[in-house]
């Protein structure tokens, strides 16, 4: 067989793939082994961040959920916990993500639609009612107003009698990727970075078990980024966050252990496994060699994974069960620390209860009925996987150099570089599907004349009316003067250099709303206007 034969076949990221791989396709020199592979649980963590990986404990099984009102979402969380879910993952609606209350004109048509509406401490109480916060780990997918939702969570914990040091979870808190790929930003990049570093400092003192940021490549991938671009732009953002924290006087080994990451798992199973391995190796080197981190926990790239929502199809939706299973395998074979498996009906609507349960069962089958969890890095040593890992690493390094040449992630964002690169890749993928060069089962091949829709979860538009009524009641019953005073103190802190979280917490405890707190910061920081909108 001609190993050099160029038949045009390539990985999903465009890396040429040979017909067969052999040992000399990988750098196996003994002196290079510790610096490239090592053992699981040791630098550079290519093979996993823990020595035994899942032999001792399976990954955390989180099902991302949230819709309509806090009370309805609470019922879904309690149901999933009863079904064996091991951690909460909260989805917020768009008004909450953008720092607007449900009665804002900008919230019309969006309240409770793609997540739960949270306007005040009263909503957070309902959301977490009956859930012991000292016994669960909670991930909150929230970015621009991440500090606000974190403080509401802390306040509910206090009301439950849970010590702040016992609260566990993650806030996404990754605003830079919002400017690149998602769009739920509020403030310009530089005050946003201040808010993030203030959160780092606050949690180091108050919430030491909370992961203060989940640096996300997932949304870039969903926007069309290749695996190489996903890792490269995520690590570039991570470098910017660490640089900002260090510039604010925080020790790298103080914040490093609380950094986490969030990646997609696509159907390109082997490339995804290699992607996770390359990302771990790169981050370990960046933290040790660039930032001087000496604590091994600072060098570990710990990550949550979600299966690829963008690869789900509305056509023949049941086929998504197969896609999600393959994607979940990619995440677990690649060594994820926690996982959300998408429901098969998500291309059509919010997940139904049945679909959410099946997605959780998919994870449980992989964890308990397969041999994936028996050994760390089960695909390590595959000549193809090791070669792909090396190729992906080289591609990521090339992008990191380009971003550095532009002045770093923030300057590159301001110039629209990452966004343009991702849009180019997305366009090329769309054209490949349209030409039939990339097969999507049920879409451009193996189609049916008629699809039967599954039973769908719907959110009624009346949800907003009920939410607004509750919000008005909160405003009517609170001490308006105390709220106004607390918001004035927050604006004063924003104009200076004090940590913003203590005055934010005071305002929220006085029953200021999410929108009011964000408006107080808008008054000082302004709002972001993307370069292509100026």
Which region among 32-41, 226-235, 429-438, 460-469 has the lowest average model confidence (pLDDT)? 32-41
What domains can you pick out in the chain, each with its CATH number? Answer: 57-372+384-415 (3.20.20.240), 463-529 (no CATH)
Mean pLDDT of 427-455: 88
DSSP 115: S
Q: Residue 4 — very low, low, confident or very high, per pLDDT cuts 50/70/90?
A: very low
Tokens for 325, please give them. 């299973």
Specify whether the CB–CB gap between 504 and 490 falls below 8 A. yes
* pLDDT, mean over the chain: 93
Give the Cα separation of 55 and 375 in Å (integer).
7
State residue 3's pLDDT score: 47
Task: Name the residue among 206, 171, 176, 213 with its Cα closest to residue 191.
Answer: 176
State residue 532's pLDDT score: 64
State residue 309's pLDDT score: 95
Q: What is the tens place of the pLDDT at every residue in 60-105? A: 998 787 787 899 999 999 988 999 988 888 999 999 999 999 999 9
Residue 5 has pLDDT above 50, yes or no: no
Give the contacts of 300 (CB within 8 A, at least 6 positions apart).
Answer: 45, 49, 257, 280, 283, 284
Q: What is the tens place of the pLDDT at every residue in 450-483? A: 765 666 666 667 889 999 999 999 999 999 999 9
Q: What is the tens place of the pLDDT at every residue in 274-284? A: 999 999 999 99
Positive or negative, the CA dihedral 147, 149, 152, 157 is negative
């Amino acid at each position: 067989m001609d190993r050099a034969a160029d038949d045009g076949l390539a990985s999903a990221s465009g890396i040429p793939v040979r017909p067969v791989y052999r040992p000399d396709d990988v750098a196996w020199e003994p002196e290079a082994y510790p610096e490239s592979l090592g053992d699981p649980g040791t630098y550079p963590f290519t093979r996993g961040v823990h020595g035994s990986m899942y032999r001792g404990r399976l990954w955390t099984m989180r099902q991302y959920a949230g819709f309509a009102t806090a009370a309805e979402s609470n019922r879904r969380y309690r149901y999933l916990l009863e079904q064996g879910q091991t951690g909460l993952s909260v989805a917020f609606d768009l008004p909450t993500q953008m720092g607007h209350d449900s009665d804002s004109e900008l919230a019309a048509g969006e309240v409770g639609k793609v997540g739960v509406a949270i306007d005040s401490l009263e909503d957070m109480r309902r959301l977490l009612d009956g859930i012991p916060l000292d016994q669960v780990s909670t991930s909150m997918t929230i970015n621009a107003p991440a500090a606000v939702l974190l403080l509401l969570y802390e306040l509910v914990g206090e009301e439950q009698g849970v010590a702040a040091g016992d609260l566990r979870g993650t806030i996404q808190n990754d605003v830079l990727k919002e400017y690149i790929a998602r769009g739920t930003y509020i403030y310009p990049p530089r005050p946003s970075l201040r808010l993030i570093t203030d959160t780092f400092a606050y949690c180091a003192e108050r919430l030491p078990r909370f992961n203060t940021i989940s640096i996300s490549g997932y949304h870039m991938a969903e926007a069309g980024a290749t695996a190489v671009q996903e890792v490269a732009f995520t690590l570039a953002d991570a470098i910017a966050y660490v640089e900002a924290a260090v510039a604010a006087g925080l020790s790298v080994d103080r914040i490093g252990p609380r950094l986490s990451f969030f990646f997609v798992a696509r159907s390109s199973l082997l490339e995804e496994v290699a992607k996770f391995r390359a990302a771990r190796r790169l981050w370990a080197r960046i933290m040790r060699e660039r930032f001087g981190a000496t604590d091994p926990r600072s060098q570990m790239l710990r990550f949550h994974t979600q299966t690829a929502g963008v690869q789900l199809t509305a056509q023949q939706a049941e086929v998504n069960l197969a896609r999600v299973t393959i994607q979940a395998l990619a995440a677990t074979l690649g060594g994820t620390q926690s996982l959300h498996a998408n429901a098969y009906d998500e291309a059509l609507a919010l997940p139904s209860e049945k679909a959410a349960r099946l997605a959780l069962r998919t994870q449980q089958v992989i964890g308990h009925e397969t041999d994936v969890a028996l050994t760390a890095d089960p695909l390590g040593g595959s000549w193809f996987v090791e070669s792909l890992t090396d190729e992906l690493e080289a591609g990521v390094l090339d992008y990191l150099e380009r971003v550095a040449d532009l002045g770093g992630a923030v300057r590159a964002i301001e110039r629209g570089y990452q966004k343009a690169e991702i849009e180019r890749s997305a366009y090329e993928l769309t054209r490949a599907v349209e030409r039939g060069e990339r097969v999507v089962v049920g879409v451009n091949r193996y189609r049916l004349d008629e699809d039967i829709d599954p039973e769908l979860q719907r959110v009624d538009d009346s949800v907003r009316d009920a939410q607004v009524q509750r919000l008005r009641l909160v405003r009517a019953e609170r001490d308006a003067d105390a709220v106004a005073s607390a918001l004035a103190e927050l604006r004063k802190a924003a104009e200076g250099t004090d940590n913003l979280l203590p005055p934010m917490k005071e305002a929220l405890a006085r029953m200021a709303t999410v929108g009011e707190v964000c408006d107080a910061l808008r008054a000082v920081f302004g709002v972001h206007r993307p370069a292509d909108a100026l």
